[in-house]
Amino acid sequence: KQEVTQIPAALSVPEGENLVLNCSFTDSAIYNLQWFRQDPGKGLTSLLLIQSSQREQTSGRLNASLDKSSGRSTLYIAASQPGDSATYLCAVPLDDKIIFGKGTRLHILP
């Protein structure tokens, strides 16, 4: 059974700081992992998709890494801004399903 855990559940940091969000999964036989952001009252927006053959993906100030052997992924956000405040979720495939973590609620303090 695949379980996805995200730590911390919530995080508040001052604007401008770099930060790391963590995602762990129990079944390392995944072929990719995706990070999403969810704004209050909205659906999810895909941020980065990392294939199992990749170790990193970058988009602007975001960098996601994947270590299948240890069952971990991290999302690094550089020079955080108030607009980064949202809930960040990671997700992995399991057969036809996509299993989501419960997310990290991020609050960037102006």
Partner 1 sequence: GAGVSQSPSNKVTEKGKDVELRCDPISGHTALYWYRQRLGQGLEFLIYFQGNSAPDKSGLPSDRFSAERTGESVSTLTIQRTQQEDSAVYLCASSLEAWPEKLFFGSGTQLSVL
Exactly one of 46, 54, 58, 70 binds partner 1 (CB under 8 A); that residue is 46
CB of 107 to partner 1, least distance (A): 15
Q: Cα–chain-centroid distance for residue 106?
A: 11
Burial per residue of 20-47, b for 16 or more beta-carbon CB atoms within 10 angstroms, e otherwise: ebebbbeeeebeebbbbbbeeeeebeeb
Exactly one of 56, 97, 107, 109 binds partner 1 (CB under 8 A); that residue is 97
Closest CA to 34 of 79, 81, 94: 94
Exactly one of 7, 16, 29, 31 binds partner 1 (CB under 8 A); that residue is 31
Candidates 12-20, 62-70, 71-79, 94-102: pick the segment binding partner 1 (CB under 8 A): 94-102
